[in-house]
Structure 1
Amino acid sequence: MLLKSLKNTLDGVLNIQHETDEEGTIREIYDKTPIRGNNTWMLICSAMLASIGLDVSSGAVIIGAMLISPLMSPILGVGLSVGINDKEMLVASVKNLALAALAGLIVSTFYFSLTPLGEPTNEILARTQPTLLDVLVAFFGGVAGIVSISRSDKSNAIPGVAIATALMPPLCTAGYGLAMGKFNYFFGGFYLFFINAVFISLATFLIVKYLKFEVKHYLDKQKERQVARIMGVILFIVVLPSVYFLYNIYKDLQTKKKIENLIVKDFAGRNNEILKWEIANTDSLNVVKIYSVGNKLEEGLVGHYNGVLQKNSLGDYRVKVVQLDVSAEDVQQMASQITNNLTRDFLKTVEIQKLHSQRLDSIHRQEAKVYTSGQATSDLKLLFPEISKAQVGEMVVASEQQKQDTVVLVMLDWQSPQPKPGQSKQAAKLNAASVREHESRISSFIARKLNRDSVQVVSRF
């Protein structure tokens, strides 16, 4: 009873068959599979953007190339066609995928043949040595992709799948290898692309079978059995290399872990600081390079390590220690010195910015003073023709609480305006009310111009 209840609970949580739109899924994948028209332009732009992103090591540009790449649909089409036994869709999907891969290689090879940069960036190097994690990303990305497309209410998971599986960048890395004549880069990049394509297709096939899509039947049963056998052989041929690649990846990881346990950890325990270690593969031998600082190597230590490798079925590996002529203390001292230099440079930058700010404030104050002495008189006389003379300056005053304050003092000499026709000189004279009104306006004007709070205006006649 408990097991049945648990099964029903899991079935309710994991079951996606009731949300599946079989006809819509097949139609959407089939319609987007052909590489022609808009898809061709999108493919070219995606390959060019990915190549530029790899060349300048720009993650943002590479992500943009992943989002617009139309490579996902033919790959999903391969898995779907095998799952529903549709020979025509399989042929069309494989043909369009091959065409898209060829176009991506041509565009990226053309770009890297012309670029003035062309150095192997970190983004390029990251796609030349696929690992087991890349296989898992491709598989689960493919599961997410087909589940998203098969839903009756479409989701926005496809862009995330495109970014996660990253189909175009490894293909462009292969193009970089062709353009530069570095065939290990070509095989590494194309190998990663192949892994992604195979395991996305495999994930699609498995989900299609899980969702029980209707399998295509033929009137001629013999032909149907023949098509089924052909599909099975094709699936076996496609999956078999990926199993071999997966085995090689697993084997390489196990070998690296074994060397680390046998050699690297023992070497680090001899009071030697390891800066880094790597395995350099050659045609005849594989060299385990250890870059170290610290104590002088014991005589015969490298030979001892080679013997350890020989006893543990790693006879085609040899140890090479690169001993740098500095001690561990020197390395720590250099690191400390670099840190101190960076801190000092930062403080110096802050001090320079502070001095620069102080100088700007001084310049602004000088500019205010220049305005005070030079332009205030002409501006005031222009605004108030009745002023015959204007003087603007600063005055320090003390309040009853013995606090000092700086006040802008404006001294004005007023003259009576010229009488209008028919008006007497007495009538044309300024009255006290007019002067007070002018003083208020002048005070506001000077305060705004000089950005000061305290302005005192004194008038004389």
Structure 2
Amino acid sequence: MTVRNFSTTKGIIRFEGSDRMIYWRRFAMLLGLAVVIATMGLIRDSGAVIIAAMLVAPLMTPILGTAAAIVTGDISRAVALLVVVWIAALASIGVAWLIVFMTDFPRGVLLPNEVLSRTDPGAEDLVIALAAGLAGAYVQVQKSELSLLPGAAIGVALVPPLATVGILLYFQEFDGAYEAMLLFATNFGAIILSACAVYIATGAGRLLLRSEKRRMRFSMGLAVAVLFLVAIFAQLSTTTYYRYAETRAESALANRIREWAQDVPVEIVRIDVRARERTAEVWAIVDLPVDAALRVASAAEQLPAKLTVTPFRLVARDILGQDYKVTVRYQPRYAWQVDLATDDVAPAPYVDSDHLN
């Protein structure tokens, strides 16, 4: 890419000039529509609607513009575009909160999976954002590859995490809102860094060689971007570690429960391990013996005798350790098997349909 072409690319992201109000109106309109679409898609738990919001959102342009300003050593423009991006981000959060408030979405219901899926960012999200940022910057430079732009926009979800923050703030789920904001910050920092690499590789480096002052400004801007991304990566690394630790613990505990139950029908419904809080929950359904319906006793006294040989707390402690608190939620179920030829009644067979959420 020549220097002249790079200057043309830079001009695309200008907010000045005689037509600046036209751009601002278009930017505000598209951003507002994207937030509305994303929020409704998140509430309805519709992935297709959320993808539509990714395609409409205009936030990629000023973020790429920030990278272009850093590469050309124009720190004042980079700061101005950063202010634009974060004001737009805060406005998006406010609009999402207002939409949920106006729809009077009930607070006591379970949050949709599409919302919850954006509250657990990890290191892999950083890799995705870096790759999509490279694609987005490349498409901006190479106009012949504009067909790739929708894929880049979908790869880096900018508006859905912001809408998620607004929704979670409405529900007063502040920890989840922080995690969703961390996902947006991850995408934001990764796009800037990867776009800088693309711009330098495609010709902008010639501008840096012409001026010592420009090189110093570029170095300062790039250092800030790298430090920001390092701080984000530290957060993501911790989150990723805990997530994989929780997944391994949940799998190990499920296997240990199956070994502990042996031939007693115990259906594991759900296991949740939270490594940060050192807590765990086990949801299970236990088949009672055939004669349990004829006995008057508490649910605990009606459990199969084999389950009382080894206390469950010892089973959980083998996997999780002594510093965990485990909540067990089990539901007794009457179950039996009838031989239709002889009418003989026997215990029901083992239910092998365990699944983890």
TM-score (normalizing by structure 1):
0.59
Equivalent-residue separation in structure 2 for 1:22 and 1:233 (angstroms): 22
Match of 2:256 among 266, 274, 289: 266
Q: CA deviation at 1:305?
A: 3.2
Match status 1:95 vs 2:93: no
Matched position secondary structure for 2:281: strand
- Give the aligned partner of residue 295 of structure 2: none
User: For this pair of structures, how many residues does the alignment match?
Assistant: 310
Specify the alignment match of 1:326 in structure 2: 333
| Corresponding residue SS for 2:147 | coil
Query: In the alignment, which residue of structure 2 is the partner of 1:27?
Result: 11
TM-superposed CA distance for 1:322, in Å, is 3.0
> Gaps (5+ residues) in structure 1?
1-16, 336-461
- Deviation of residue 244 (structure 1)? 0.9
Cα RMSD between the aligned structures?
A: 3.3
What amino acid does structure 2 have at the position aligned with 1:153?
Answer: S
Shift in Å, 1:59: 2.8
1:108 equivalenced with 2:96 (yes/no)? yes
Q: What pairs up with 1:147-158 in 2 under 5 angstroms?
A: 147-158=138-149
Equivalent positions of 1:46-445 (< 5 A) are 46-118=34-106, 119=109, 120-214=111-205, 216=207, 221=212, 223-224=213-214, 226-228=216-218, 230-260=220-250, 262-270=252-260, 271=262, 272-280=266-274, 285-294=277-286, 296=307, 298-306=309-317, 308-310=319-321, 316-326=323-333
Percent identical among aligned pairs is 23
Closer/same/farther in 2, CA of residues 208 and 217 from structure 1, 3 Å limit? closer
Q: In structure 2, what is the Cα distance between the partners aligned to 1:225 and 1:43?
A: 34
1:224 shift after superposition: 4.5
**Could you say what secondary structure the match of 1:37 adopts?**
helix
Residues in 1 aligned to 2:170 and 2:269: alpha-carbon distance in whole angstroms: 33
Which of 1 and 2 has greater Rg?
1
Unmatched tracts of structure 2, length 5 or more: 287-305, 336-346
Q: Which has the higher contact order (CA 8 A, sep 6+)?
A: 2
Aligned to 1:373: none
Q: Cα distance 1:124–1:197, how it changes in 2: closer, same or farther (>3 A)? A: same
TM-score by length of 2: 0.74
- Secondary structure at the aligned position of 2:140 is classed as helix
CA distance in 2, matches of 1:205, 1:224: 15
Which amino acid in 2 is paired with 1:250? Answer: T
Distance change in 2, residues 1:309/1:55 (3 Å): closer
d(CA) in 2 for partners of 1:82, 1:115: 42
Q: Is the 8 A contact 1:75 1:97 kept in 2?
A: yes
Cα deviation for residue 219 of structure 1 reads 8.8
**Is the CA contact (8 Å cut-off) linking 1:113 and 1:180 kept in structure 2?**
no
Give the counterpart letter for 1:53 in structure 2: G
Task: Pick closer, same or farther for the CA change 1:132–1:171 going to 2, 3 Å.
Answer: same
Distance in 2 (alpha carbons) for counterparts of 1:224 and 1:75: 20
CA contact under 8 A between 1:302 and 1:321: conserved in structure 2? no
The CA deviation at 1:273 is 3.8
